[in-house]
Structure 1
Amino acid sequence: MSCFRAAAVAALLIPLLPIVGAQTIVVENATIPANESTIAPAVASVDAHESNSTADLFVGETLQLTDAVLANLTELELSNITLFSFQNESSSTETLSKRTIFGKCKTYPGDYFWPSELTWRLFNILLGDALIETVPYASSCYDSFENFDAAKCNFITNNWINASIYHTEDPTSVNAVLFQGSTCMPPALVPAETECSIGGYPAYSVAVRNVAQIQLAVNFARNLNLRLVIKNTGHDFSAKSVGMGALSIWTHNLKQTQFFKNYWQGSYYGPAFKLGTGVQAFEAYEAARQHGVTIVGGEGRTVGVMGGFLLGGGHSPLSSLYGMGADQVLSMEVVTADGRFVTASETSHPDLFWALRGGGGSTFGVVTSVVVKAYPKIKVTTMTYLLATGPSVTVDQFWAALRAFFDGFITYTDAGNYEYFRISKVGEGQFISDMGPWFAPGMSKAQLEELVAPLFAKFEALGVHVDPVYTEYDDYYDAWLASFPVEPFASDSIRQASRLFPKSNWQDAAKLNATFDAVKSVVEEGGYLIAFNIAAAPKGGYPDNAVNPAWRNTVLHAILASLWNVSNSEADIKAASDKLTFDWMQRWRDVSPGAGSYMSEADYIEPDFTQAFFGSKYPKLYRLKQLYDPFGVFYAHTAVGSEDWQMSEKILGNLPSQNSRLCRK
């Protein structure tokens, strides 16, 4: 170790010694316990009414890091308390200059500016023992972390793919494990695996329950140039919640809810909810049912609907009636990259408010709660049926029936309907499509039967008979719960991509022929299709926000998956992966030029992602990114501004590896 570095390390560690052994700390003239089993000492309680908030702050939002708190901590002569200070333009520029002496990359373990063990301990004390050192979810299947547990491993293995609820309860587990490096999968699922490592998972997570903890984490990451990620549930096709050596802000525990029977803000007057960003779909819908109203959320049960779902736009079984999830937002509470806690609404930081509603998660700040519109209780009728080749249905009849269904997409969305269906090849010359479900909010069984009667008449004329099953519900919650099972999760033998096909393709016979042929051709070659007949341009209009303009013109959101066996050779896996992006999806892009893709369910290496995910909104979003986050504190793969960064290594030759360094280009 050089004399310079030894002196620097000594200067960093010596001031820490008093706090490590201390039992109390003085904050705003109050003596507060300050050890790893007590509440966070770096907190000031702020009056819930003393803010620009459009609704009373939750208790956790009143607990904030303030300049006064930092001043008191500084008086304790903890020289490195500046690691937790708010962004100051001059000091931040100087700090950035110093920390990039050794390159343009984020700070990683082993780097000169990586925090010492004592610094992490101080951080944990200030957080109130909320810091979690990462132990991968499946580590109990190995000896690597000295926590082998056969029974626990067996449970995890049996529930790895088909029980996302367990992954969402873990501070670091995510859906897109392939891009993390698949470094700790249950060995029964990856027979060649012999050890477990952290890989691309974050090094530490903060299990946040109040604003102060988020502010401390943001300031700490910014001042040390640490990679910072945000995890709510880990639902995302692009692994935005992981990153080698990162510090993660885990928002899952922000579960507070508050209902307003009569909420008045701007031109809106009516029922509303304030929901913490940790609230998941099943919890949001349960709250709405309890109060006799309906709210717009996703179909997935464990999705964090007030987190990345909503920030990325958020499509819903109710979108054809009410629009996107982002369209429902009335205000948001958010910690920005400078560490400050602000309200974003039409009157407070309106540009930030515009960007947060559809501009993507992990980009402009850490949202702690959202106020959203609520709607009256609504009845729903669902319908399911199975269409498959077999003794009475030939391949030609199968595709002709599907084409008849496609022909009615505009009619169905104009009626406020949403169809969720799958199409796949199950053998040579064998295909299956299940409608699961046709979702008709606001309709009775008789009304839905009338709507689909022409379709089933066409089926019969083609010699195709299906047996539709109708169910009428008095409430959205009951229909949703019965229709959408817990979603699969965390497979490393799949890659997905998506396309938003425009309504104009249905208004031109030649374009519709080309669109249907492009969909048909990829399924015939083995692509697995999950699709939604949906239109997010409700008759009542929608607000000006950052939602991808392609959503306002679409009638088909189609997700395509390429699957392989984990025992396949790397060359075969790469071929399957490349086919998805450069062959199958290119066919879809060719028949929908200028359209787009849904960022949360998209190709990990979507070509020209800024156009596909953001369209004409991107230039404004990029300007706001530079305004609110000039130092790149928040990074997520394919998020706004991510094109200014690159990861140092790749998987399968062209998939950026989250298990690598993140550096400015």
Structure 2
Amino acid sequence: MKSNFGSVLALWGLSLCHLGTSQTILNNDNSTVQVNQSIVAPALESVDQRSSNSTADLFNSETLQLTDYVLANLTDLQLTNITLFAFDNATADNVTSGGLSKRTFFPRCKTYPGDFLWPSRYLWKLFDVLLGGALIETVPYAAACYDDFGKFNQQQCGFLTDNWTNGSLYHAQDPTSVNAVLFQGQSCLPPRLLPNTTATRHCTVGGYPSYAVKVSNVAQVQLAVNLARNLNLRLVIKNTGHDFGAKSTGYGALSLWTHNLKDVQFFESYRESGYHGPAFKLGAGVQAFELYEAAHKYGVTAVGGEGRTVGVMGGYILGGGHSPLSSMYGMAADQILSMEVVTADGRFVTASKSSHPDLFWALCGGGGSTYGVVTSIVVKAFPKIKVTTLTYVLSTGGPGNITASQFWAALRAYFDGFVDYADKGNYGYFRVTSTGPGQFMSDMGPWFAPGMSKAELQALVAPLFSRWKQIGVEVNPTYTEFNDYYDAWYASFPVEPWGSTTIRQASRLFPRSNWQSETKLNATFDSIRSVVEDGAYIIAFNIAAAPKTGYPDNSINPAWRNVAMHAIAATLWDPTMPEASIKAASDKLTFDWMKRWRDVSPGAGAYMSESDYIEPDFRQAFFGDKYAKLYRLKKRYDPWSVFYAQNAVGSEDWKMSEMILGNLPSQNSKLCRA
């Protein structure tokens, strides 16, 4: 940043008012400059569609960029403080030696409302003008249920209350709503979802960002990144807000809402970095259902998650991204060929194996909200395939009067085949829970067999069902054969739940080595059984992520390459319980149940995007031996710490100022250097 302390402070005297199609800028010295709005706003330049470093043309939204030419023109118009929106050409070395670390007007914490450097209302207005009117001051999603924001609407409140936990499609359409409301601070929930003991019910912004930019072009991202960096504002990125770990929210933050970057382009024959075949270029806002609809339209198959509303081109793919197709094709991040990125200095670059290869390596699995803001990604596509699915319910009691011992024996027999099933490209998505004292249920929903016919899947599972019959267990399996992946996926995975305040989750990646001996497998199975008997709700995946065709060198957690099962444990509580009881349930998940799982899988890991919010030693669990390199690259590409997310690379350098339940960092508090 080339401005000094005086020029930063000068902006506090700047004001702006509308005069028709012109803007009058009142500078701090009381001089005025009247300019045509079309010159000032939006602050962007249209550049050539052909990227110099990628074989995929830029989307139209990506050709609209903030450039040095634009900034120079704004400076010539006597907007002398426009340097707050300028690029920074510092490197990690000069930032450390004489830059950011010695700018004493940047305090230990990020800049927050009420702080000396917090933008005035006039600066926010100028920012909005430069953005082209894309700045949104946060009104919480549930504000319709209250009078606090002047938005009370009983009918709207009833709708969002009824659809709060099953309406992820609706939440994704809001600039700041997120799934992880527990960590956000629960500052604006529909009244019916609040504990009965809550005496005062109000709606506040709380841990939601103060402002959001409705991103429709690259220039807007650059302006926001530059402003956040130059004023030390907290910056967050939200596509859908689906993340379990509150990575898309934060008190006093400026948010980049990338949800509307929905461009999709299909290439029948795409060449890049040794790859030649079908591919998609997809905007950062594309969700799973949109990716799969496009693949269906063009007669191909694409790798994405099972959740319909997950933003597949956002944090999902940047964090690795497991898929119903992973046992066959690998992780979602394995399919990335190139991506367009705004880095922490505000510059727009193409990252691929041949352009910024270190940045490309880090982004392919190293996590979102860490190295830059991705605006689009080019991914591989595969030929159309058939899929057969299998569903069944295994439970105690019922017509067969199945005992608990028979239930667990049958489930143990299923575990025996995990390595074989995954090696054949299968994906088993199953749940295990207690339904009462000594009563248990496991539903397969579904056993997903890409590339297999019904007859082939029946032959694969016949030995298992034969063993179950010997145990005295019979189920009524349902097989369905589909001609296309899209149809199988759509029929198998409903819209996922959202926004519960009475749940915490954690996960573990169980390695194939646990299946190499009866002793290890027994210990693994017993660790699953014991937490279910103790009250945990389990969602598990029989999955592999190391296809026979190989996988690229990238930053995906190495634990994925040896996995046979990814399991999620959830603890739930009644919101009317005393806080001490809720804390006990929360702590039991991390320090008891998950310790059992870690003890039987030493040195393995966990899936960052579906993990414990306070995972012990998250660096090893989420990144393994790749963390050291990822941290070095974090310091190289973001020496200013513009980007922060809970449990992301470099997050150990920061801490929240307040806790929930004593040990859960509250996003409704200040982010400060550790």
Amino acid corresponding to residue 377 of structure 2 in structure 1: V
Amino acid corresponding to residue 596 of structure 2 in structure 1: R
Question: Which residues of 2 match residues 284-433 of structure 1 at below 5 A?
Answer: 284-391=291-398, 392-433=401-442
TM-score if structure 1 supplies the norm length? 0.96
Q: Is the 8 A contact 1:53 1:333 kept in 2?
A: no
Residue 536 of structure 2 is aligned to residue 527 of structure 1: yes
Amino acid corresponding to residue 245 of structure 1 in structure 2: G
Determine which of 556, 567, 579 is the counterpart of 2:576: 567
Structure 1 unaligned blocks of 5 or more: none
Could you tell me how far apart the structure 1 residues matched to 2:22 and 2:191 are?
Answer: 46
Amino acid corresponding to residue 217 of structure 1 in structure 2: A
Could you tell me how far apart the structure 2 residues matched to 1:122 and 1:92 are?
Answer: 28
Could you tell me how far apart the structure 2 residues matched to 1:422 and 1:273 are?
Answer: 33
Could you tell me how far apart the structure 2 residues matched to 1:235 and 1:378 are?
Answer: 28
Residue 139 of structure 2: aligned partner: 135
Residue 274 of structure 1: aligned partner: 281
Residue 467 of structure 2: aligned partner: 458
Question: Does the C-alpha gap of structure 1 residues 114 and 340 become closer, same or farther in structure 2, counting only changes over 3 Å?
Answer: same
Residue 11 of structure 1: aligned partner: 10
Residue 31 of structure 2: aligned partner: none
Residue 170 of structure 2: aligned partner: 166
Could you tell me how far apart the structure 1 residues matched to 2:296 and 2:80 are?
Answer: 52
- 2:590 match: secondary structure: helix
Structure 2 unaligned blocks of 5 or more: 25-33
Amino acid corresponding to residue 155 of structure 1 in structure 2: F
- TM-fit CA distance, 1:267: 1.4
- 1:42 match: secondary structure: coil
Amino acid corresponding to residue 90 of structure 2 in structure 1: E
Amino acid corresponding to residue 11 of structure 1 in structure 2: A
Per-residue CA shift, 1:242-276, capped at 9, x if unaligned?
11000000100000000000011121111000000
Could you tell me how far apart the structure 2 residues matched to 1:85 and 1:39 are?
Answer: 15
Could you tell me how far apart the structure 1 residues matched to 2:524 and 2:9 are?
Answer: 66
Determine which of 477, 484, 492 is the counterpart of 1:483: 492
Determine which of 197, 210, 215 is the counterpart of 1:208: 215
Per-residue CA shift, 1:602-647, capped at 9, x if unaligned?
0000000000000010000000000000010000010000000011
Question: Does the C-alpha gap of structure 1 residues 39 and 234 become closer, same or farther in structure 2, counting only changes over 3 Å?
Answer: farther
Determine which of 99, 112, 119 is the counterpart of 2:116: 112
Could you tell me how far apart the structure 1 residues matched to 2:364 and 2:106 are?
Answer: 37
Could you tell me how far apart the structure 2 residues matched to 1:11 and 1:137 are?
Answer: 35
- TM-fit CA distance, 1:576: 0.2
- 1:386 match: secondary structure: strand
Q: Is the 8 A contact 1:99 1:224 kept in 2?
A: no
- TM-fit CA distance, 1:10: 8.3
Per-residue CA shift, 1:74-123, capped at 9, x if unaligned?
11111221110001329977773576436310000000000000000000
Question: Which residues of 2 match residues 32-71 of structure 1 at below 5 A?
Answer: 34=37, 40-71=41-72
Amino acid corresponding to residue 193 of structure 2 in structure 1: L
Amino acid corresponding to residue 185 of structure 2 in structure 1: G
TM-score if structure 2 supplies the norm length? 0.94
- 1:89 match: secondary structure: coil
Per-residue CA shift, 1:345-366, capped at 9, x if unaligned?
0100000000000000000000
- TM-fit CA distance, 1:213: 0.2
Residue 604 of structure 1: aligned partner: 613
Could you tell me how far apart the structure 2 residues matched to 1:650 and 1:15 are?
Answer: 37
Could you tell me how far apart the structure 2 residues matched to 1:375 and 1:9 are?
Answer: 52
Amino acid corresponding to residue 412 of structure 2 in structure 1: R
Residue 188 of structure 2 is aligned to residue 184 of structure 1: yes
- 2:599 match: secondary structure: helix
- 2:141 match: secondary structure: coil
Residue 263 of structure 2: aligned partner: 256
Per-residue CA shift, 1:540-585, capped at 9, x if unaligned?
0000000000000001000000000111110000000000000000
Residue 153 of structure 1: aligned partner: 157
- TM-fit CA distance, 1:16: 4.0
Amino acid corresponding to residue 11 of structure 2 in structure 1: L
Could you tell me how far apart the structure 2 residues matched to 1:578 and 1:463 are?
Answer: 38
Residue 76 of structure 1: aligned partner: 77
- 1:498 match: secondary structure: strand
Determine which of 480, 483, 495 is the counterpart of 1:474: 483
Question: Does the C-alpha gap of structure 1 residues 472 and 102 become closer, same or farther in structure 2, counting only changes over 3 Å?
Answer: closer
- TM-fit CA distance, 1:368: 0.3
Q: Is the 8 A contact 1:132 1:206 kept in 2?
A: yes
Residue 30 of structure 2: aligned partner: none
- TM-fit CA distance, 1:492: 0.7
Q: Is the 8 A contact 2:235 2:643 kept in 1?
A: yes
- TM-fit CA distance, 1:34: 2.3
Could you tell me how far apart the structure 1 residues matched to 2:496 and 2:104 are?
Answer: 42
Alignment length, in residue pairs? 653
Could you tell me how far apart the structure 2 residues matched to 1:83 and 1:638 are?
Answer: 29
Question: Does the C-alpha gap of structure 1 residues 618 and 181 become closer, same or farther in structure 2, counting only changes over 3 Å?
Answer: same
Per-residue CA shift, 1:516-536, capped at 9, x if unaligned?
000000000110000000000
Question: Does the C-alpha gap of structure 1 residues 32 and 448 become closer, same or farther in structure 2, counting only changes over 3 Å?
Answer: farther
Determine which of 651, 655, 665 is the counterpart of 1:642: 651
Q: Is the 8 A contact 2:14 2:122 kept in 1?
A: no
Residue 197 of structure 2 is aligned to residue 197 of structure 1: no
Residue 483 of structure 2 is aligned to residue 496 of structure 1: no
Amino acid corresponding to residue 169 of structure 2 in structure 1: I
